[in-house]
């Protein structure tokens, strides 16, 4: 990962994570609104429901040693540690996130079974065959080398262990390449959210096959999660959020002003919410 991109991602999350937690809570990912996206529910419940739906979809009933790649402030890590009575390790590029996740573990009496590190997902500081569940929820889009990222997830996974990866994708391009307008739309999203690029779900599946993961499954849950951005946009312009934005810095303000890019991306079928799971 280039030093510039590393710093951009780190600074983005260092600046914005506190505001996100203040407005939205500990889960820094999409919510689930039913298969057709029409279920009405509390926004935090929708985020928890996404975790539970993912576990059910991937067939995960137990876990002992979990790695959360791109852990944010420990939302998924600590939820999974508590649910499965497991040990959880989270990695992030943001020292602010790692410190807050560690604090949250203490608040939840999970310090003995969790740790949070500042580390690069493309060069993880773990031995081979360490974790029986590798969980990556909306971090793959930040990776400049998607193959290296998935190779690292595979390397640290125990034989028989499971990888669950959920990431922002663009639409499949087998039948039609991206248009100039679609590429421009994506470039605007990349700039705002510190992304090098995204790829399609079939491209991720091809990488997984080469690893080689076994029992590979993929799914597109774009319809189920797209309403999330309406709720984020509504919450971004409350008095509390506006004051938080003003004190969080310019990159966070730009991110808030650009939320419509993601909503329009889903509406036009360009942005896709891709799921992949498989066993080592």
What ranges do the domains of the chain cover? Answer: 3-279
pLDDT along the chain (280 residues), means of 10: 82 78 82 96 93 98 98 96 98 96 97 97 98 97 97 98 98 95 96 93 98 97 93 68 56 63 93 98
Residues 6+ away with beta carbon under 8 Å from 104:
26, 73, 74, 78
Q: In this structure, how many other beta carbons lie within 10 angstroms of the beta carbon of residue 50? A: 25
Q: What pLDDT score was predicted for residue 39?
A: 96
Tell me which residue of 238, 188, 228 sits closest to 19, measured CA to CA. 238
- CA-wise closest residue to 13 among 100, 80, 90: 100
Q: What is the pTM of this model?
A: 0.92
Q: Any idea which architecture 3-279 has in CATH?
A: 3-Layer(aba) Sandwich (3.40)
Pairing of the two strands 131-137 and 214-220: unpaired
The torsion angles phi and psi of 89, rounded to 5 degrees, stand at -120, 135
The two beta strands, 87-92 and 114-118, are: parallel
Model pLDDT for residues 200-232, shown as the tens digit of each residue: 999 999 999 999 999 999 999 999 999 988 877
């Amino acid at each position: 990962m280039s030093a510039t991109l590393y710093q951009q991602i780190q600074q983005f999350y260092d600046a914005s994570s506190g505001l996100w937690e203040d407005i939205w809570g500990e889960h820094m990912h999409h919510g689930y609104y039913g298969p057709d996206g029409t279920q009405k529910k509390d926004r935090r419940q929708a985020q928890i429901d996404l975790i539970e739906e993912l576990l059910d979809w991937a067939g995960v009933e137990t876990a002992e040693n979990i790695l959360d790649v791109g852990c944010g402030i420990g939302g998924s890590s600590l939820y999974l540690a508590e649910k499965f009575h497991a040990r959880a390790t989270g990695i992030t590029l943001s020292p602010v996130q790692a410190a807050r996740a560690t604090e949250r573990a203490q608040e939840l009496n999970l310090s003995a079974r969790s740790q949070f590190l500042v580390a690069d997902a493309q060069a993880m500081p773990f031995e081979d065959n360490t974790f029986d569940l590798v969980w990556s929820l909306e971090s793959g889009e930040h990776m400049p080398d998607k193959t290296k990222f998935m190779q690292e997830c595979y390397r640290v996974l125990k034989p028989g262990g499971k990888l669950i990866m959920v990431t922002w994708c663009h639409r499949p391009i087998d039948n039609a390449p991206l248009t100039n307008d679609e590429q421009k739309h994506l470039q605007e999203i990349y700039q705002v959210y510190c992304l090098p690029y995204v790829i399609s779900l079939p491209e991720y599946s091809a990488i997984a096959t080469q690893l080689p993961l076994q029992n590979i499954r993929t799914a597109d849950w774009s319809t189920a999660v797209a309403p999330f951005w309406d709720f984020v946009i509504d919450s971004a312009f409350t008095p509390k959020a506006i004051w938080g934005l003003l004190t969080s810095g310019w990159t966070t303000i730009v991110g808030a002003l650009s939320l419509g890019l993601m909503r329009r991306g889903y509406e036009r079928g360009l942005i896709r919410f891709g799921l992949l799971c498989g066993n080592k």
